[in-house]
Amino acid sequence: MIRDNALAVSGLLSDKVGGASVKPYDLEMSFKPMKPDKGDLLYRRSLYTYWKRTGPSPVMMTLDSSKKDVCRVKREETASPLQSLVLLNSPQFVEAARVTAEKLLHKHGDDDGKIIDESFRLLTSRSPDNREREILENLLNEQDAEFSESPEQAKAYFTTGDKSPDYQGEDARLAAVTVLVSALMNFDESITKR
């Protein structure tokens, strides 16, 4: 769900139904490494992820997917730092954040307020309050300043993922909005049902 949601928000999610199993990025990091797929096959619902019993998807294992070797009547609630690392650093989420950022920039251009409001709503299903807006504005400004100072860092940031960047504006701006979306993808309200 968490992965599917990130893909859906970015618009990357493939809506194809049925078919053979697919290999997303993380299977390359499995205990039995497999070569990931290309193109659309990277963005299918997690339901279609190839399952190798001796080395299952490491992202799914980290996020406490049921292991298929023991019976489970309910999913566990967990919070481990290893999960944070997946959401912060794995190519699937980094790419989805960037593609979401491109979408928001195409739609709202220079309007930070609208970008913050829409990204927040996309990921939490509600509008931010004033304090949340303020925090996110600060985040956006800080990151913009960071990447403006080192544009090569921004370029490097866009190399993650199979899909190449689709944005003609300033690199620093796209990088900063990507960090904004990434932060929101890690926000408790985006990933937890309370």
Partner 1 sequence: MNTRTPQCTGFDSPVGMSRRQTLQSFGGGLGGMALAGLMGNKGSAADGVLHGLHHAAKAKRVIYLFQSGGPSQIELFDHKPRLVDETGEELPDSVRKGQRLTGMSGNQASLPLVGSPFAFQQHGQSGAWLSEVLPNTAKVADDITFVKSMYTEAINHGPGVTFMQTGSQFPGRPSMGSWLSYGLGSSNENLPSFVVLVTKNKGGQPLVSRLWGSGFLPGKHAGVRFRADKDAVLYLNSPDGIDPASRRKMLDRLGELHQHQLEKSGDVELETRIAQYEMAFRMQASIPEVTALENEPEATYQLYGEDARTPGTFAANCLMARRLAERGVQFIQLYHPGWDQHGGIPSGIKRQAKETDQASAALITDLKQRGMLDDTLVIWGGEFGRTNYCQGKIKATSFGRDHHPRCFTMWMAGGGVKAGYSHGETDEYGYNVQSDGVHIHDFHATVLHLLGIDHERLTHKYQGRYFRLTDVHGHVVKPLLA
> What are 57's two structure tokens?
């998807």
Cα(6)–Cα(13) distance, rounded to whole angstroms? Answer: 8
Strand partners, 22: 49
Binding residues for partner 1, rule: CB under 8 A, are 26, 29, 31-32, 53-56, 58-59, 61-62, 64, 67, 69-71, 76-86, 88-91, 94, 131-132, 135-136, 138-139, 142-143, 146-147, 153-160, 175, 179, 182-183, 186-189, 192, 194
DSSP 165: P
Nearer to partner 1, 19 or 31 (CB): 31
Instruction: Output the smallest distance, CB 41 to partner 1, in A.
Output: 21
Note whether 43 and 13 are within 8 A (CB). yes
User: Burial level of 94, CB count in 10 A (0-12/13-18/19+)?
Assistant: buried
Instruction: Output the smallest distance, CB 131 to partner 1, in A.
Output: 5
Instruction: Output the smallest distance, CB 17 to partner 1, in A.
Output: 29
124-140 per-residue burial string, b: 16 or more CB within 10 A, e: under 16: beeebeeebbeebeebb
Instruction: Output the smallest distance, CB 188 to partner 1, in A.
Output: 5
Nearer to partner 1, 17 or 126 (CB): 126
Nearer to partner 1, 17 or 35 (CB): 35
Nearer to partner 1, 90 or 104 (CB): 90
